[in-house]
Amino acid sequence: MNPGPNGVDGASIHRTVDAVWRIESARIVATLAKVTGDFSLAEDLAQEAVIDALAQWPSAGVPQNPGAWLTAVAKRKAIDGWRRRERLDDRYRAIAHDLAELGDATDAGEPIDDDVLRLVFTACHPVLGREAQVALTLRVVGGLSTEEIARLFLVPVATVQQRIVRAKKTLAAAKTPFETPDPSEWSARLGSVLGVVYLIFTEGYSATSGDRWMRAELAGEALRLGRMVAGLVPREAEAHALVALMEFQASRFGARSRADGSPVLLADQDRARWDRAQIGRGVAALERADALGRGRGPYALQAAIAECHAVAPSVDDTDWERIVVLYEALGRIAPNPVVELNRAVAVSMAVGPASGLRIVDEISTSGALAGSYLLPSVRGELLARLGRVQEARSELTTAAGLVANDRQRQVLLDKAAALEE
């Protein structure tokens, strides 16, 4: 992949630069952020280096080590910038010296995993809201362009731009140091990183709005980020567990929608279309998590539940008792009404719909999930199985009125319509 000066068209160089950026941007930005101490400046410098690449590579050819080329150019820009602004006070003089010294050592492949990890933690810093964390993570860690992020989240480019600009300002205003958190904060901060990755995945797995039921590209990006984080913190069981969970869920993508884009629910999915290689990777990732021997956290328990589904030949042959136990464990360490609702479904499969309905009614009485379509949709389902058709139809219609995704709404309305008196 070293095209000479001749015969390289602009579009092809652009695609190559995009690919290099995707692979290298996290390392480049991380290196620059470390030496400049300024996360926002680091990203700007790296982007400027890309503009230089687009101008120079078509005639000069793609360099042997494009990542090192971009890093070197960005570093030079940092030093030039300080000189221009005559800000060569002692601190910057020292940094400029460091940059010059550091130059080739870093490019030769000095371990900078810690820098990338700092980048991940900075992008997911708690001073930022979730939307900002998501945008910043995809941009600076994932190397996605503002346009790509906007396309994936179905929001205007200007919105993403604003989120990123504001996020950078917030980080600067809070004087966020570019560092990995203190050991005492470690688990909470890693939890937030994993949460951001999973949020990106779930948005791809089941779009909260719009006319598409899922967006595989977004889920794929989350998987890549998740595998990346697990690669950076291989001793963290929950990172591997999250990868396992995402692999299991993504293995069903091929079976989750029909040719016309309408969704197919778990019970109706053609399991032959689940991606076995992906399920295999999920099993392996969960084994890695378990092998660390520190017990199962929330992602590991969810992954274990997903594994039960993934390895079951059919809905009836699913180990529902085991799923109930796993949901009970999950409810103890991460109490959450949605988990409780899922437990109700599992109980209804293991024991019968009446037992499931009792749990649903308890959630209902507690007032949790009020206004969510989830509660009436599950309740409607269970009532239908109990033969209480009229109540079931009313619940399903209520659920349809509460759901924001067009595809999901249609599924609920179809179910209500299909109920026989």
In the complex, which residues of this chain contact other proteins (CB under 8 A)? 1-2, 15-16, 18-20, 22-23, 66, 109, 113, 116, 217, 220, 223-228, 231-232, 254, 270-277, 280-281
Of 268 and 362, the one with the shorter C-beta distance to other proteins is 268
Distance CA 342, CA 355 (A): 13
Q: Give 34 or 227: the residue with its C-beta nearer to other proteins.
A: 227
Closest approach, Cβ 58 to other proteins, in A, equals: 14
CB of 277 to other proteins, least distance (A): 7
Query: Cβ closer to other proteins: 192 or 251?
Result: 251
Query: First-to-last CA distance in the chain?
Result: 66
CB 219 within 8 A of CB 204: yes
Beta bridge partners of 257: 263
* Residue 138: CB minimum distance to other proteins, A: 12
* Least Cβ distance, residue 22 to other proteins (angstroms): 6
Q: 279 or 384: whose CB is closer to other proteins?
A: 279
CB of 220 to other proteins, least distance (A): 7
**Residue 363 · residue 369 · CB < 8 Å:** yes
Can you state the angle between helices 186-205 and 237-250, rounded to 10 degrees?
0
Nearest CB to other proteins, comparing residues 245 and 403:
245
- Beta strands per DSSP E along 42-180: none
Burial 69-89 (b: 16+ CB within 10 A, else e): bbbbbbbbbbbebbeeeeeee
| Shortest Å, Cβ 398 to other proteins | 36
**What would the two tokens of residue 187 be?**
């688990």
CA torsion 334-340-345-347 (nearest 10°) is 90
Cβ-based nearer residue to other proteins, 262 or 398: 262
- Considering the complex, what minimum distance in angstroms separates the CB of residue 366 from other proteins? 40
Helix axes 90-107, 66-84, angle to 10 degrees: 170
Select from 201, 298, 295 the least CA-distant residue to 248: 201
DSSP for residue 268: G
Nearer to other proteins, 76 or 288 (CB): 288
Q: Whole-angstrom Cα distance, residue 181 to residue 159?
A: 29
Backbone angles phi, psi at 236, to 5 degrees: -95, 110
- The residue among 19 and 351 lying less far from other proteins, judged by its C-beta, is 19
Burial class (CB in 10 A: 0-12, 13-18, 19+), 284: middle
The least distance separating other proteins from the CB of residue 26, rounded to whole angstroms, comes to 8
